Chains A and B, each alone.
Chain A
């Protein structure tokens, strides 16, 4: 057997145990009560986001000037808002915008951050130092403030939110991935891959990446919770999804001024929807973190 073949065996020997570990991971996740509860909440809102317009009782956009600010009743279970729109329908259909923007932003941040972290950890040097400084500068401010500066420069829209939140998350993800890569870099399978003559990108993406997927997965689920927090908050501040598109954050912004007049239902139901979604996502993230770290 040639030295190359031995090295190849060494390099590949982790694969079967990885597949088993992944199956085991899924089993342990499903057994966790927090994961099940969180996944159920998340699934409910995903169904609303996908099929909401089909089963929402009334048009979410149709105003009715004869039925403004109606309290909850049999006809309008969550009441109507200042423009006479059905609050229940807007809550159901409003799941769509946040569930489009937040996962896309998280995905963008995770993919970009993972690539960056792999290069920082494996190549090191000046790039590593520069990006680490940049991460500290980004961390020096609340995410909402950084996002606000960029959104004002670019102009508010759903697409802007995706890019800006993804951009803010990327260095944060990169920092975690970098730490994992630095620990992997010195292991035998990386040395053997290098001895086989594999190129640096191949070593990073084909050899190291599969072995740092657990922290990447944890980062994704944790960041998804932060992304939902950030999207809802920026929409509430008027820098996200613009009216009349149904959106929980911007609906609350449009109607919180009439709370002192007693019209509580226009803001309470979208607020409860946001609360349930973030708690659901965080229950899932906590379970994923607990299972992968044990």
Chain B
């Protein structure tokens, strides 16, 4: 048992504020890496935008407008203070402010990610619990093989297969995620189901594996045995004692999977031509639009860290072993 001695861990608020501090340090490091990686760009930004034939004076003028002729540290400080206020500078490709692109793309990605989560969370937990109740039998093996294959195959590969099976051969779902402007919610959803499937496949294995491990551990525990000896039916033991304990690690793992989900979004949005934060970041990278790229990457980093922190908070609230460990 992982029972910890009193005083070994700090109380939940201290624990969480420490985690928050660490996350902020990581975020600062990340912003430096992203910013300075962008500065390795050979040649200067003004030349990259105006092309090789532009006059030297015009290039210098644009450089001054963009602020890229200042010392790097000054540029970094300006960029960070802007980013904190929601101002990510101006896009090189679109010649307008980056922020509005980021917000609308992030909203689109959120829709797709939410749909994937709504499908995969119940499905993964169900798969894991069913596997745990059939440990070692064919159904358990089948679920684990399905999970392993799903989580290791890149999203664009499974994406290609589902497009061809459901979009081309069965013709049950639209092939692209892009909908006409002002489309109704059901139409939007219809277009999002196909892109959500590769994300579901990638996440299913992890969630099912965690739910299975938690359930197996709980089934094997003293309190489950006591409940059985007390004369409770198997169904009641599973619902009241086993599931309640096995879902805690599952909830934690679901939030840590946000990173994989976002990595997957980049690919799935490209494959389905869906205007989310992933496609925006890839397009910015292709066009060497550094303000847009930096904003996209930083937004993804912030979302990921927020999700991880939320997972920590949720786990420590739900898990008395962490919550009560610091109290005398």
Q: Which residues of A contact B (CB under 8 A)?
A: 133-134, 136-137, 139-145, 148-154, 225, 229, 232-233, 236-239, 249, 252, 256, 259-260, 262, 264, 267-268, 271-272, 274-275, 278-279, 281-283, 286
Contact = CB atoms under 8 A, between A and B. Distances in A.
A260 B168 contact: yes
30 contacts: A133-B26, A141-B30, A141-B301, A142-B259, A142-B263, A144-B263, A144-B266, A145-B281, A148-B285, A150-B37, A152-B285, A153-B41, A229-B154, A232-B157, A233-B156, A237-B267, A249-B156, A252-B157, A256-B160, A259-B160, A259-B164, A259-B175, A264-B169, A271-B160, A271-B161, A272-B161, A274-B153, A275-B149, A282-B152, A283-B148
Interface string B271-289: 1000000000110011010
Given A142-B263, A143-B263, A148-B266, 19 more contacts: A133-B26, A136-B29, A141-B259, A144-B263, A145-B281, A145-B297, A148-B281, A148-B285, A152-B288, A236-B156, A237-B267, A238-B286, A239-B285, A249-B156, A259-B163, A260-B168, A268-B160, A275-B153, A279-B152
Contacts of B176: 260
A164 to B, nearest CB: 10
Contact of B27 (A140, A142, A239): A140
Interface in B260-309: 260, 262-263, 266-267, 270-271, 281-282, 285-286, 288, 293, 297, 300-301, 304-305
SS class, residues of chain A in contact with chain B: helix
B148 A271 contact: no
A271 B288 CA distance: 28
A55 to B, nearest CB: 25
B303 to A, nearest CB: 10
Given A252-B160, A279-B153, A140 B304 contact: yes
Contact of A136 (B22, B153, B282): B22
Contacts of B38: 149, 152-153
B142 interface: no
A274 B159 CA distance: 12
Interface in B136-179: 148-149, 152-158, 160-161, 163-164, 167-169, 175-176
B25 interface: yes
B16 interface: no
Contacts of B77: none
Given A148-B282, A153-B41, A268-B161, A252 B266 contact: no
B97 interface: no
Nearest to A231: B154
